[in-house]
């Protein structure tokens, strides 16, 4: 810690050759002989001085013996300044004060005609140096000075000495008063230091307090909008929930707000424009929640940004839970509206999910979750809209939670089954591989369609253990089939892999481990990735694709034609086979021109040295068509529905051979 230098009183003393501090005295007397006498008293006190003549004035008859007896060779001789008149003494003190030093002691005669007397002199000396110690010298013949002393005050700084005085007494008095003055100065220096330290400590405490307040603010606020952040919101929400548990008359609600089409702004106008849009929304929300505003008057209402384009509002202390919807309606008008960004008038639109804390909520998170679900309903209902969480949404939500729980159990207990659907070589009519498809017989509910449980698994992350389980079962099945000599055995399996599964850091290692563990040749295993997985631009899909290819495992691009892939970027990806989605087969039924599209896609795939599987071939007519269009492989109910593994290798083949 560095302390500022205080404006400390400079020591009055310089030092002599021996290093002793030299006191500085001022002698104020109108008689030169007195000056001389003082000089002698404080000069070489070890010498045998002939002081009688002068000292007699001051000290009377026993002067010289006293001066010898009290000699003190260690004490430095003081430095003396002399004044004949009070005014002159004041000049001395002023001059010294200008240099920042002070006298240790002044001897002041009481009568100094023709100038000001001792009393006035002392008073004026104290005006310049209030700490000055003064010995007031009077003759024995002078009147009683007690009244003067009383008038002057400061009894601790003023000593009376009657002339003639003993030299030893004078020196002792001087030594004592100089020491006292010195100690007083030191004490004052300490006080100055302590005060400076104290000031600095106070400053530090203040600065630390400010820094802590800043940190607290940063920890609880979103930097972009200045609104509360997720953590702070969570704390507020938890407090409201606690209050609601204790007080049935207390109501609160959460509004979950999501910007409509924010991604479009971010993608087309850039992140800076996106940030400005978010700031505007934050400000409008904040303004709408001021107690002075009519939208939501309670001071406890807060707005927060959870991240991205998601905002929340906590309506604290509603008179009735239904009031929350009215607040949402008002926010739709106050927050939505035009906003000029990059010279463009952008229309801000929001979707709001409304959820009050009700008997369905067992934890404060539930209120937020309900508001989130309601927000999705608002989006489904056409955006720029609000939806209130209701019993029907609650039932659906509950069902989803139960479904996830049952699905988790099914994965843990190996209750997920896999069926296989043949992929037919259209040139030979032979089965070249089979696609592995997950099946789940949910206890108490019967078979659940993958179209139902796969999306739920994808959203929740359960798709990772589920997909890994299917991969493993398919590999096990492949080697089990090897022991069967029948020609109706798939020689390879093709397994669907979801984006989240594909993005696991160790996905490629897992594939390699499976090949090694089951002693499978890489060309016996294929993975199917949907078009949207491959086109996902947020991560380095290409790198993983190449790593899979490097293992020798073929990559199928699934559901081709349903996503947004641009044909021009297709060549960038290491794709072996393009699976044309079954919706094209359906479309040809209604509009024969779709046949041309399938043919074009097939030609394009061939140019890119990829083969084509056409999905959804359901009858002989379609089977003949796909051969004509130049497709290489086909899959569909016409050849076989997905079958359990046990159906393969039997004499009765599951495959209706291609025409
Ligand atoms: P997909 O990968 O496109 O699988 C083909 C789907 O088309 C299968 O539906 C299959 O039964 C059906 N299908 C086959 N031929 C025909 C036909 O001629 N006509 C009609 N109408 N449908 C046909 P499924 O088994 O219900 O699977 C649905 C989707 O679930 C799959 O579509 C796939 O995306 C997903 N899925 C299934 N198992 C898994 C899995 O283990 N992992 C992942 N990630 N997804 C899976
Ligand atoms: Ca597939
Ligand atoms: Ca497909």
Q: Please write down the HEC assignment for all residues of 236-301.
A: HHHHHHHHHHHCCCCEEEEEEEEECCHHHHHHHHCHHHHHHHHHHHHHHHHHHCCCCCCCCCCCCC
| Neighbour count for residue 96 (Cβ, 10 Å) | 18
Residue 205 buriedness (CB in 10 A; 0-12 / 13-18 / 19+): exposed
Q: What is the pTM of this model?
A: 0.65
Mutate to test the pocket of ligand 1, among 615, 617, 620 (most ligand atoms within 8 A of CB): 615
Residue 351 in contact with residue 257, Cβ under 8 Å? Answer: yes
- Ligand 1 atom closest to residue 418's alpha carbon, by position in its atom list: 41
Contacts 24+ apart (CB under 8 A), 636-639: 636/582, 636/585, 639/422, 639/424, 639/431
Per-residue pLDDT tens digits for 2-30: 433 434 445 455 665 555 678 899 999 99
Residue whose CA lies nearest to ligand 1 atom number 43: 496
Instruction: Give me the pLDDT at residue 599, please.
Output: 94
DSSP string, 434-472: EEEEEEEEETTTEEE-HHHHHHHHHHHTTHHHHHHHHHH
- 8 A C-beta contact, residue 383 and residue 402: no
Q: pLDDT tens-digit profile of 538-591?
A: 678 889 999 999 999 999 999 998 876 666 678 888 999 999 999 999 998 888
Work out which ligand 1 atom sits closest to the CA atom of 635.
Answer: 15
Residues 257, 329: Cα–Cα separation, whole Å:
12
Cβ–ligand 1 contact at 250 (below 6 Å): no
| Any ligand 1 atom below 6 A from CB of 635 | yes
Using 50 as the pLDDT threshold, list the residues of the chain that sit under it. 1-9, 11, 46-54, 62-73, 292-295, 657-659
How confident is the model at residue 484, as a pLDDT?
A: 85
The CA distance from 455 to 453, in Å, is: 6
Give me the helices (H) in 60-154, please.
63-69, 86-98, 118-128, 146-152
State which residues have CB under 5 angstroms from ligand 3, the bound ion: 558-559
Q: Of 423, 435, 437, 555, which is best to mutate to test ligand 1, by the most ligand atoms within 8 angstroms of its C-beta?
A: 437
Q: How confident is the model at residue 1, as a pLDDT?
A: 40
Counting beta carbons within 10 angstroms of the beta carbon of residue 159, is it exposed (0 to 12), middle (13 to 18) or buried (19 or more)?
middle
Q: Whose CA is nearest to atom 24 of ligand 1?
A: 450
Helix-strand-coil split of the chain, %, nearest 5: 50, 20, 30
How far apart are alpha carbons 643 and 431 in whole angstroms? 14
Q: Which helix (H) or strand (E) holds 539?
A: none
User: Which pair of structure tokens corresponds to residue 166?
Assistant: 């003993």
Task: Give residue 616 CA to ligand 1 midpoint distance, Å.
Answer: 10
- Number of CB atoms found within 10 A of residue 53's CB: 11
CB 262, CB 309: distance < 8 Å: yes
Provide the 8-state DSSP code for 532: H
Q: Tell me: the pLDDT tens digits for 578-608?
A: 999 999 999 988 888 899 999 999 999 999 9
């Amino acid at each position: 810690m560095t302390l500022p230098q205080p404006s400390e009183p400079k020591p009055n003393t310089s030092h002599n050759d021996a290093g002793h501090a030299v006191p500085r005295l001022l002698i104020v007397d109108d008689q030169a002989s007195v000056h001389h006498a003082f000089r002698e008293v404080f000069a070489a006190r070890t010498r045998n001085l002939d002081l009688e003549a002068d000292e007699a004035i001051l000290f009377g008859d026993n002067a010289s013996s006293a001066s010898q007896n009290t000699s003190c060779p260690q004490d430095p001789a003081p430095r003396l300044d002399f004044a004949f008149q009070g005014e002159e003494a004041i000049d001395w003190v002023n001059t010294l004060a200008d240099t920042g030093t002070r006298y240790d002691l002044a001897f002041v005669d009481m009568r100094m005609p023709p100038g000001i007397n001792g009393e006035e002199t002392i008073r004026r000396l104290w005006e310049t140096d209030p700490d000055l110690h003064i010995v007031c010298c009077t003759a024995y013949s002078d009147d009683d000075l007690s009244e003067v002393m009383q008038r002057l005050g400061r009894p601790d700084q003023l000593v009376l000495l009657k002339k003639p005085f003993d030299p030893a007494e004078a020196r002792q008095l001087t030594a004592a008063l100089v020491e006292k003055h010195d100690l007083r100065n030191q004490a004052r220096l300490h006080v100055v230091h302590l005060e400076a330290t104290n000031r600095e400590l106070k400053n530090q405490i203040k600065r630390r307090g400010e820094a802590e307040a800043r940190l607290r603010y940063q920890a609880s606020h979103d930097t972009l909008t200045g609104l509360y952040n997720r953590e702070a919101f969570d704390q507020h929400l938890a407090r409201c929930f606690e209050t609601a548990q204790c007080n049935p008359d207390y109501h609160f609600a959460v509004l979950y707000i999501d910007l409509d089409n924010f991604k479009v702004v971010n993608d087309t106008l850039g992140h800076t424009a996106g940030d400005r849009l978010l700031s505007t929304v934050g400000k409008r929300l904040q303004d709408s929640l001021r107690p002075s505003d009519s939208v939501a008057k309670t001071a406890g209402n807060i707005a927060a940004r959870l991240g991205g384009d998601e905002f929340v509002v906590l309506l604290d202390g509603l008179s009735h839970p239904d009031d929350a919807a009215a607040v949402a309606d008002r926010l739709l008008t106050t927050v939505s509206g035009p906003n000029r960004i990059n010279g463009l008038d952008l229309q801000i639109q929001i979707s709001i999910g409304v959820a009050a804390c009700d008997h369905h909520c067992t934890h404060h998170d539930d209120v937020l979750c309900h508001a989130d679900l309601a927000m999705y309903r608002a989006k489904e209902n056409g955006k720029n809209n609000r939806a209130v969480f209701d019993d029907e949404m609650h039932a659906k939500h509950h069902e989803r939670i139960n479904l996830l729980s049952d699905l988790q159990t099914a994965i843990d207990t190996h209750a997920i089954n896999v069926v296989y659907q043949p992929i037919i070589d259209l040139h030979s009519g032979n089965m070249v591989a089979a696609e592995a498809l997950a099946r789940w017989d949910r206890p108490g509910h019967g078979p659940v369609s993958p179209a139902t449980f796969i999306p739920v698994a994808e959203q929740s992350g359960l798709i990772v253990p589920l997909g890994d389980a299917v991969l493993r079962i398919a590999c096990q099945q492949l080697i089990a089939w090897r022991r069967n000599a029948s020609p109706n055995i798939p020689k390879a399996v093709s397994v669907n892999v979801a984006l989240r599964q594909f993005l696991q850091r160790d996905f490629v290692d897992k594939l390699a481990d499976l090949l090694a563990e089951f002693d499978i040749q890489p060309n016996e295993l294929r993975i199917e990735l949907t078009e949207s997985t491959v086109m996902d631009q947020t991560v380095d899909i290409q790198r993983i694709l190449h790593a899979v290819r490097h293992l020798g495992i073929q990559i199928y691009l699934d559901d081709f034609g349903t996503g947004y892939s641009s044909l021009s970027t297709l060549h960038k990806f290491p794709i072996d086979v393009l699976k044309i989605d079954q919706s094209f087969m359906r479309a040809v039924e209604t509009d024969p021109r779709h046949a041309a599209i399938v043919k074009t896609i097939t030609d394009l795939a061939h140019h890119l040295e990829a083969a084509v599987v056409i999905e959804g071939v359901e009858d002989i007519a379609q089977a003949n068509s796909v051969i004509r269009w130049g497709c290489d492989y086909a899959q569909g109910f016409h050849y076989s529905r997905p079958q359990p593994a046990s159906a393969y290798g039997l004499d009765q083949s599951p495959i209706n051979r291609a025409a």
